[in-house]
Amino acid sequence: MERHVQRLLNRVSLVFATAATLSLLHLFFRSSSSSSYCIPSYSPSNPTQPPHHPQTLTLALTPFPRSSCDAASRSFVPLEKRSAKLRSSAAWRSHVASLSAAVFSPLRALRLLSNSSRVLCVSAGAGQSVAALRDSGVADVTGVDLLDFPPLVSRADPHNLPFFDGVFDLAFTPGLAGALFPTRFAAEMERTVRQGGAIALALEWWPSSLSPPSLSEARTEGIWALFRRSSILEVRNVTLVGSETTLIIMRNNGNSTT
Report the C-alpha gap between 83 and 238 in whole angstroms: 28
pLDDT in tens, 208-217: 444 444 455 5
The pLDDT assigned to 102 comes to 96
CA distances for 203 relative to 57, 99, 171, 214, 248, angstroms: 37, 13, 14, 16, 8
- Cβ-contact 243, 204 below 8 angstroms: yes
Can you list the domains of the chain with their CATH numbers? Answer: 54-80 (no CATH), 89-252 (3.40.50.150)
* Ranges under pLDDT 70 in the chain: 1-2, 4-6, 8-9, 12, 30-76, 79, 205-220, 255-258
Residue 56: phi and psi, rounded to 5, are -65, 145
Pick left, alpha or beta for residue 111 (phi over 0 → left; psi -120 to 50 → alpha; otherwise beta).
Answer: left
Report the C-alpha gap between 137 and 14 in whole angstroms: 81
pLDDT in tens, 125-134: 999 999 999 9
The pLDDT assigned to 69 comes to 58
